[in-house]
Structure 1
Amino acid sequence: MSLDPDTLMGPLWTLLAFVGLGWLAARRLAVDPRPIATLLIYLIAPLTFFRGLILGGPTPAYLLITASLFAAACLVALLVSAVARRALPGEEGAVLAFSAGTGNTGYFGLPVALVLLPPEGVTLYLFGVLGVTLYEFTLGFYLSARGRFSVRDSLAKILRLPLIYAFLAALLVEGADLEVPNAVMEGLEVFPPAYTLLGMMIIGMTLGRVSIRQFDWRFIGACVTVRYAFWPLLALGAVLALQATTGLSPELSTALLLIGVVPMAANVVVVAMELGMAPEKGALAVLLTTLAAPLLIPFYLGWMLPLISG
C-alpha cells in the first residue's frame, strides 16, 4: 500500500483556498474571527459530532477505539504540558499543550483515509477521530484555558461546552434504540462542510493580523517537533506493539498511523481565538505543518506501511 503525493494536493489546495478566503475577509472586509470561533465551538462542532456518531452506529468495539485515542491524546498533551510550562510562557505553553494531543484528522486526514482504506477502515478511522475531537473539547480545552484562567474557571468553561453533551446525547439515542427523524439528519448535513470551511477560514483571518514580529521560531519549532516527530513514532510504536499482542487488523493499523502523521489541527487556532491566547502564533504553526503535509505524509506512510504489513 502506497500513497502518491498528488493524492494530497486536492485537499491541500482546497484548504489553502479556504485559508485565503479568510485572509481576504480579515484584510479587506475587517471581519472579526472571534464570533466565528464561538459559533464553531458552541454550535457547529457539537452538531457535527452528534451527526457523525449517529451515522457511525457506535458499537462497544468502535467506542473502545474512541476511548483509546482519547486516552492517548490526553497522555501526550499532559506530557507536553509538563515540559512546556518550563520552556515557554504561559499562553504559548498552553497552546502547545493543546496542539500536542490533536491533529488535522478531519479536514486533511479524512480525504487521505478515503483513498487508503476500504469502507470498514474509514469507519474505524472516524471513530479514532472522534476520540481526538473529544479530547479537544475536554482536557485539551482545559489545558488551553489554564494558560490564562484559574482551575475553577477552566473547569467551568469545560462544563459549558455543548460537545460533551452532544456525545452523551448520541450515546443515549443509540443505547435506547431511538430513531432520529430523516428530516433532522438531512438538516444536519450542512454542518460538517461549514465546520471545515469556517475552521480553515479562521486561520486565514488570524494570519491577516500577523506581523513579522510574531514569527516565533521556538514556539513553531516545538509544535512541528511534537506533530511530525513525536506523533509518527508514537503511532508506529503503538501499532507494532498492538500487532504483536492483540493481532491488530491492517485497516485499523493504517488508520492509527494516519492519525499520527496528519498536520496540526485547525482547532488549535479556533480554541486559542475563543480563549484569547496567542492565536497568531498558532495560525502560523498550523499553516506551516499543513504546507509540509504533501511531502511528509507520503514519506512517513511509505516508510511505515511496509513495517506493519511485513
Structure 2
Amino acid sequence: MSLFFIILLKVFPIYINVVLGYLSSKLLNVQRESVATLLIYILGPIVVFSATLSVKIDFAVAFLPIFLFVFCSILAFASLALFKNSWNDPTGNILAFSAGTGNTGYFGIPLAIIFFPPHLADIYIFTVLASLLYESTSGFYVTAKGNFTVGQSLKKMARLPILYAFILGIIFNIAGFEIPEVISSYTGQFKGAYGILGMMMLGMGLIGLKNSEGNFDIKFISIAYFMKFVFWPLAILGFIYLDKTFFTFLNEDLYKVLFLFAIVPLAGNTVTLAVLLNAKPEKASLAVFLSTVVSVLTIPLYIFLYGGF
C-alpha cells in the first residue's frame, strides 16, 4: 500500500496538467492544434537531440531503442493488418498506432526519475527515443494512412524534424560533441515543458466528448487496453527471460528500464497525431485518459509483482 500511495502522490501533478489542458481549451479557447504543432515540430526535436547526447552509448544501451523500435513497428503493422477494416473511419489506424507505443515520455520519464538513480533515468530517457522515432516514422505512417495515400504519408513523415534531430544527435554523440553546461541547463527545461504540454494536450482533446457520439468505443478500448496492459508486459517479461537464459545482452538495470517502458499507459501522442491528422481525436483522448486513470492501479501492481525497483 505504501508504494501505491507514493506513486499516487508523485503522479498527481500529471492529472493536474490534464485538467489545466481541459480548462485552457474550455475557458480560454486555447487551440489544441497549435499545441500539437509545438510538441511535434519544436519541443520534441529539442528534447530528442539533447537526450541523445546525455548518455554514454555502448552495445547494451544502443540495443534497447533499436530492439524497442523494431518491436513497436511490428506491433503497429500487425495491428493495422488485423483491424484496419473493423471500422469505417480511421479508428483502426489509431488503434494500430497505440498498440505499438505507450506514454513513455510524458508519463514514463517522471516515473523513471522517481524509481531510478540518475544514470539509469538517463538511460531510460535515451530509450524513450525508440518511442519518439517510432511515432515519427512507422507509427505516423500507420496513422496517416487512414487519411492519406502512401506517397502523401511518406512525404509528411519525411517532414517531421524529430527524425532528423535523432540522427543529428547520434552523429554528434559518436563524434564526442558535448553541449556546454550553460546550454544544457537551458535545453533541460524543454523536458519539463514537453511533459506538461503533452499531458495538457490530453485534457484539450477531451473537449467535445459530451457532444460527440461514439467516443466510448468498447471494442477499440478493449483491444487497446489488452495490448497495453496485458500483451506488452508479458511480451517484455518473455524477452527478459530469454535474455537472462540464453543471450545475456543486458543486465538487471536495463531489464528494469525495459519493464518500465512496457507498463506505462496509452501514448499521449496518440491524441497529438489524431488531432493533426483529424483521425478521431475525441475517441483517442477518452481512451488515453481512461488508461492513465487505470495505470494508477496497474503500475504499482506490476512493479510489486516484478519485485520492486
Scaled by the length of structure 1, the TM-score of the pair is 0.92
Deviation at 1:131, TM superposition (A): 1.2
Distance 1:37 1:262 in 2: 21
**3-state SS of paired residue (2:113):** helix
Distance 2:30 2:169 in 1: 34
Distance 2:42 2:25 in 1: 22
2:121 corresponds in structure 1 to 122
Change (3 A) 1:185 1:304: closer
Deviation at 1:3, TM superposition (A): 8.0
Deviation at 1:136, TM superposition (A): 1.0
Q: Is the 8 A contact 1:11 1:108 kept in 2?
A: no
2:149 corresponds in structure 1 to 150
Distance 1:265 1:198 in 2: 14
Scaled by the length of structure 2, the TM-score of the pair is 0.93
Change (3 A) 1:303 1:88: farther
Distance 2:184 2:305 in 1: 40
Letter matched to residue 53 of structure 2: I
2:48 corresponds in structure 1 to 49
Change (3 A) 1:180 1:117: closer
Q: Is the 8 A contact 1:3 1:298 kept in 2?
A: no
Deviation at 1:185, TM superposition (A): 2.1
- Of residues 278, 290, 302, the one that matches 1:288 is 290
1:237 corresponds in structure 2 to 238
Deviation at 1:298, TM superposition (A): 1.9
Q: Deviations over 1:138-182 (max 9, x none)?
A: 110111100110000000001100011101111121222234333
Question: Which consecutive residues of structure 1, in runs of 5 or more, have no partner in the other structure?
Answer: none
- The answer to whether structure 1 residue 92 and structure 2 residue 91 are counterparts is yes
Q: Is the 8 A contact 1:102 1:133 kept in 2?
A: no
Distance 1:136 1:110 in 2: 17
**3-state SS of paired residue (1:55):** coil
Which runs of structure 1 show a deviation greater than 6 angstroms over 4 or more consecutive aligned residues?
Answer: none
**3-state SS of paired residue (2:282):** helix
1:164 corresponds in structure 2 to 163
Distance 1:121 1:184 in 2: 22
Letter matched to residue 221 of structure 1: S
> Over the residues paired in the alignment, what is the CA RMSD in angstroms?
2.0
Change (3 A) 1:210 1:154: same
Distance 1:205 1:227 in 2: 23
Letter matched to residue 204 of structure 1: G
Distance 1:88 1:54 in 2: 42
Identify which range, 159-168 or 242-251, moves more after superposition: 242-251
Question: Which consecutive residues of structure 2, in runs of 5 or more, have no partner in the other structure?
Answer: none
2:203 corresponds in structure 1 to 204
1:217 corresponds in structure 2 to 218
Question: Identity of counterpart residues, as a percentage?
Answer: 35
Q: Is the 8 A contact 2:53 2:178 kept in 1?
A: no
Deviation at 1:107, TM superposition (A): 2.3
